[in-house]
Structure 1
Amino acid sequence: MDSARTFDSVSIIFNPNSTGDAPRLAKDLHDDLARLLSYSPKITLQPTERAGHAVELAREAARRGNALVVSVSGDGGYNEVVNGVMQSGSSDAVCAVMAAGNANDHRRTTGTKPLPEAIAEGAVRRLDLLKITIGEGADAETNYAHSYIGFGLTPVVAIDLEKGSKGALKEMVTVVRTFAKFKPFEIRQTDGVHRRFDSLVLANIPEMAKYATLSEAEDHPSDGQFEVVVFPHMAKWKVLLTALRAASKGLGKQPSVSSYEFTTVKPMPYQLDGEVKSAPAETKVLVEAAPRALAVLG
């Protein structure tokens, strides 16, 4: 753990149109920090204006130097902030997240104390990230995930949830409908063998989607590795049983790796911490652990 940190600036990034309490929580955090901090950084509330705007705001904030960049959001909003900080090239920017989303998997599994208290104490620690590269050479696209990268059921369900309405019952109906019509996806491994999966999740934390326990608790988000959670193609009732097991007692110990590589066969969506993107057909996909790449508080 690094020594206690103070900051020249604190940027609080939030979505003013959030269906949750992000605007209120952001304002409360601003007021708490103004009261708790023994020094006087510039504390700024920065509402986003469009999708992807948090990436830009975080990148600009981190480039100012000695900055704390806070995301008041769920996992998807925090993903944008993390990617903005990583794009900045700053070596001294620190991130934090205040849970204001639906699942809040990252905050729930890595948080150690109330965020205002953690910022006041300034006890910075470092966590791994997942680095995903789509393609090769000059055209390659790189992004980071703080918690997980999912292929198959994970992004497909996320896409349909985004199209539908919010609310627990409506979300459940959407998931059931998506599951009923879902088809497996195919990848080509580095040895040339083709494999079909219902789901492939590369995870830096042991839990996702509020209820699912992917791996044992000792798997730590700063060990330089991530877990590979595979659902090979199987009958839908078997997939359902496996999902219920994940939601009840967990899936148990999963294999850990520092990199995972394959080639897409057809265009396929993938999900980074709640943010959905797409990989083209016949494209190399490389996921690597980025050891202790992110400085955090909280």
Structure 2
Amino acid sequence: MTSARTFESIVIIFNPNSTGDARRLAEGLQGELEGLLSYPVDIRLQPTSHAGHAVELARDAVSGGGDVLVVSASGDGGYNEVVNGVMQGGNPKAVCAVLGAGNANDHRRSTGTQPLGEAIAAGRVRSIDLLRVHTGGEADSPGEYAHSYVGFGLTPVVAMDLEKGGKGALKEMVSVIRTFSKFEPFELRQADGARRRLDSLVLANIPEMAKYATLSDADDKLADGKFEVVLFAHKPKWRVLLTALRAATKGLGDQPSVSSYSFTTLKPLTYQIDGEVKSVDADTPVRIECAPAALATLG
């Protein structure tokens, strides 16, 4: 559902030490909005100072209530922190948006329908689903939110190697080839008790990731109460490579969609959540569930 909104305050969060143009883009958006908006509004820039600071800043920005828009001038990982902070703030009127300033910008590329300044001025707000990730046995834990995807197996391993190898098309290609050559599959135990050996498992709320790969053909999947399960069972590496090439060119086609997905790790396992790499211990229950229409954003 779309509604026209105005805002009492707009907070633009950015990392001043970003390798991209986060500061310049944040300052540019502030200046643009001062000229575009026809109503009085407090527009503030909030630089981060340490890892996780964006969560605190976003939570503080919305916790007092009111019509607050929090913009993350960042990539997918920075936006993940802002989304989690907004969700923790518990303000039903809060709205979240991202100004792509990272390497991949998967979420902004997949969801943006017009320049962000124009979208803010138009006040077109819609609700989209989030993924909620639980690691551990606490069924009632709040979990951690993902705005785009959660990936296990090949996805986080490639992400870690990309960070080591640096940004840029040639460096990224070399990093991916190096990682692919030494990658090993992983095992998990499904909810029905069966063990599976996989190369990759991605739970996705957007149709594209990593700038190049098209995960599914699903349209308007951002608010359908489900997410796609993109699963690669273990197979020879040449077949994995063919599948990756297909994802980068033609796309993978229709994928199964679910409202929740559960398994138990058998060994320590890394995973990627919206571009950020994390880890989970062995013998840990993992549950990913859809949080329907949980986030108000611009579109």
Q: TM-score, normalised by structure 1?
A: 0.97
Partner residue, 2:232:
231
Residues 141 and 179 of structure 1: is their aligned pair in 2 closer, same or farther, counting only changes over 3 Å?
Answer: farther
Deviation of the 1:64 alpha carbon: 2.6
**2:74 equivalent to 1:84:** no
1:131-165 deviation line (CA, Å, top 9, x unaligned): 01001228957111111100001111111222232
Q: What amino acid is the match of 1:40? A: P
- Out of 158-167 and 261-270, give the one that drifted further: 158-167
Given that 1:206 and 1:219 are in contact with CA atoms closer than 8 Å, whether structure 2 keeps it comes out as: no
Whole-Å separation in 2 of the counterparts to 1:64 and 1:41: 16
Partner residue, 2:35:
35
Whole-Å separation in 1 of the counterparts to 2:141 and 2:37: 42
**2:21 equivalent to 1:21:** yes
Gaps of 5+ in 2: none
Whole-Å separation in 2 of the counterparts to 1:255 and 1:235: 23
Partner of 1:125, secondary structure, is strand
Whole-Å separation in 2 of the counterparts to 1:173 and 1:96: 33
Given that 2:3 and 2:126 are in contact with CA atoms closer than 8 Å, whether structure 1 keeps it comes out as: no
Q: Structure 1 stretches (4+) deviating beyond 4 angstroms?
A: 138-141
Partner residue, 1:165:
166
Q: How many residues align?
A: 298
Partner residue, 2:215:
214
Residues 174 and 218 of structure 1: is their aligned pair in 2 closer, same or farther, counting only changes over 3 Å?
Answer: same
Partner residue, 2:197:
196
Partner residue, 2:47:
47
Given that 2:129 and 2:222 are in contact with CA atoms closer than 8 Å, whether structure 1 keeps it comes out as: yes
Whole-Å separation in 2 of the counterparts to 1:155 and 1:98: 24
Deviation of the 1:209 alpha carbon: 0.7
Deviation of the 1:271 alpha carbon: 0.7
Q: What amino acid is the match of 1:70? A: V
Deviation of the 1:276 alpha carbon: 1.1
Given that 1:226 and 1:257 are in contact with CA atoms closer than 8 Å, whether structure 2 keeps it comes out as: yes
Partner residue, 2:187:
186
1:42-88 deviation line (CA, Å, top 9, x unaligned): 11001111111111111111113221000011111111110111111
Residues 180 and 73 of structure 1: is their aligned pair in 2 closer, same or farther, counting only changes over 3 Å?
Answer: same
1:162-202 deviation line (CA, Å, top 9, x unaligned): 22322221121111111111110110011111101000000
Given that 1:205 and 1:219 are in contact with CA atoms closer than 8 Å, whether structure 2 keeps it comes out as: no
Partner of 1:56, secondary structure, is helix
Gaps of 5+ in 1: none
What is the percentage of aligned positions where both structures have the same residue?
A: 71
Q: What amino acid is the match of 1:273? A: D
Q: What amino acid is the match of 2:124? A: A
Deviation of the 1:92 alpha carbon: 1.1
Whole-Å separation in 1 of the counterparts to 2:177 and 2:24: 33
Whole-Å separation in 1 of the counterparts to 2:246 and 2:162: 22
Deviation of the 1:217 alpha carbon: 3.8
**2:127 equivalent to 1:126:** yes
Whole-Å separation in 2 of the counterparts to 1:164 and 1:136: 36
Deviation of the 1:3 alpha carbon: 2.7
Partner of 2:223, secondary structure, is coil
Given that 1:135 and 1:141 are in contact with CA atoms closer than 8 Å, whether structure 2 keeps it comes out as: no
Partner of 2:201, secondary structure, is strand
Whole-Å separation in 2 of the counterparts to 1:270 and 1:206: 19
Whole-Å separation in 1 of the counterparts to 2:220 and 2:245: 21
Partner of 1:92, secondary structure, is coil
Partner residue, 1:7:
7
Partner residue, 1:287:
288
Given that 1:59 and 1:85 are in contact with CA atoms closer than 8 Å, whether structure 2 keeps it comes out as: yes
Whole-Å separation in 2 of the counterparts to 1:40 and 1:266: 54
Partner of 1:124, secondary structure, is strand
Partner residue, 1:152:
153
- Out of 197-206 and 213-222, give the one that drifted further: 213-222
Q: What amino acid is the match of 1:9? A: S
Given that 2:103 and 2:167 are in contact with CA atoms closer than 8 Å, whether structure 1 keeps it comes out as: no
Whole-Å separation in 1 of the counterparts to 2:214 and 2:265: 27
Given that 2:262 and 2:287 are in contact with CA atoms closer than 8 Å, whether structure 1 keeps it comes out as: yes
